Amino acid sequence: MTTAVPGAPARHSRSGDADAIVARESRHVLQTYKRNPITFVRGQGVRLYDVDGREYLDLLSGIGVASLGHGHPALARAVGEQAQTLIHTSNLFYHPLQGELAERLAELSGLPRAFFCNSGTEAVEACLKFARRYWHTKREPRAEFIALDESFHGRTFGSLSVTSDEHYRAPFEPLVPTVKFVRTNDGAALAATVSRATAAIIAEPVIGEGGIRPLTPEFAAAIRQACARTGALFIADEVQSGLGRTGYPFYFQALGLTPHLVALGKALGGGVPIGAALVGQEVADTVSYGDHGTTYGGNLLACRAALTVLGEIFDRGIAENVKRVAPAFEQRLRAIAAKHPIVKEVRGAGLMWGLELGRDAAPVVPAGLERGVIVNRTAETVVRLLPPYIITEAEALEALGRLDATLGAVGASS
């Protein structure tokens, strides 16, 4: 038996705590998430620990967010220091960090301006609004957006309107009506659909939620040609694929694309909520005071977190770590996939991978948790892997070993 220290917070050490947490949520939290029955209380690097002290290797990073892993000392220090200094002042005043972060993102992306918000969906909303604003200013009010069949751009009305999945859309219709979807990586379909009525094409350079599907170089060329022919803008949604995840700062760079607008989120704050819309000069020139805004967007805490994350990734060797570990990760993943007949295809880039199964991938998640590895199912049949950028080769091989055992168990029972 342990003795409680007076005044110390209760230590979560028994499963009873987990049950109480689940019971309280089930009474009072709106039931929009079907959670796995695991309660995490602590993290360190690529490892997470649950309320019973069990250890897990995290190949998901809170859906691509914990880019520096968990409990990162520099991020923890920066956020703690900033919280004690100044968290928030609103966008009615200047503070020193927003311009610094915008400048950093401009250097990385080539897009000179940034608008800061709090999530990926808000970044997409901003891009859609700025695209409409551009055509409004040009006195050629184009309304139409072209999006892809497996797209996911977020849950607010505008972003949902360019998201293809009927499951997400149907309960909330009517959505923004001026959206057309084309088949992913079908250049001819894109060419046939984009016209002088198109305000913008929006696409994820690597489709994430829709099953980890990198756009092909041929399709990227079709996007370039369609934009050149019609004047349509191109919005790159790099919320999941951006900021070093694929081994490039942005995957649009790997595809040779030059977007007019880029949406960012997920990895940017390392877990502190922040999103950004990056804006090319031609579009930026059409945006005026008051056109868009947010109370929290780009506050000191969020900007300090993002500056720390970008500094670690691009100045202190983490991008190089992704490039170093990614080939070994891919090689091991392909070797494992080849052993398990339930795996039909392996897709991805850098540290962003999907295993397409010949069946529903849902049972892989609990089977992985039982074996101490965290993965996710997306697009019904895909096992998604988004490990933290700080993962070492040894940790990657250990985690993939657990995934190997998991696929073996799921394959044997199907």
Q: Which residues bind ligand PLP (CB under 6 A)?
A: 119-121, 124, 152-154, 204, 208-209, 237, 239-240, 265-266
> Greatest CA separation found in the chain?
75
Q: Which is nearer to ligand PLP, 198 or 376 (CB)?
A: 376
Q: Which is nearer to ligand PLP, 82 or 240 (CB)?
A: 240
Q: How many CB atoms lie within 10 A of CB 205?
A: 27
Least distance (Å) from ligand PLP to the CB of residue 271? 12
Q: Which residues is 277 bridged to in the sheet? A: 115, 263
Q: Which is nearer to ligand PLP, 237 or 395 (CB)?
A: 237
Q: Which is nearer to ligand PLP, 235 or 407 (CB)?
A: 235
Q: Which is nearer to ligand PLP, 267 or 367 (CB)?
A: 267
Least distance (Å) from ligand PLP to the CB of residue 154? 4
Q: Which is nearer to ligand PLP, 134 or 152 (CB)?
A: 152
Q: Which is nearer to ligand PLP, 235 or 396 (CB)?
A: 235
Helical spans, DSSP H, in 5-119: 15-28, 61-64, 73-85, 96-109
Place of tokens 């590895």: 373
Least distance (Å) from ligand PLP to the CB of residue 242? 9
Tokens of 230: 């019609």
Place of tokens 């691009």: 314
* Kind of pairing between the strands at 144-148 and 233-237: unpaired
Least distance (Å) from ligand PLP to the CB of residue 376? 12
Tokens of 67: 């880019």
Task: Look at the chain and count its residues.
Answer: 414
Q: Which is nearer to ligand PLP, 130 or 152 (CB)?
A: 152
Question: In degrees rounded to 5, what are phi and psi of residue 233?
Answer: -80, 160
Least distance (Å) from ligand PLP to the CB of residue 234? 15
Distance (Å, whole) CA 92 – CA 242: 29
The three-class DSSP label of residue 72 is: coil
The residue number whose beta carbon is nearest to ligand PLP equals 120
Least distance (Å) from ligand PLP to the CB of residue 119? 4
What lies within 8 Å, CB to CB, of 88 at 6+ separation is 296, 299, 300, 301
Cα-to-chain-centroid distance, residue 157: 19
Least distance (Å) from ligand PLP to the CB of residue 196? 27
The three-class DSSP label of residue 217 is: helix
Least distance (Å) from ligand PLP to the CB of residue 124? 6
Tokens of 194: 């984009």
Least distance (Å) from ligand PLP to the CB of residue 339? 29
Q: How many CB atoms lie within 10 A of CB 138?
A: 12
Q: Which is nearer to ligand PLP, 209 or 312 (CB)?
A: 209
Rg for the chain, CA atoms, rounded: 22
Q: Which residues is 113 bridged to in the sheet? A: 279
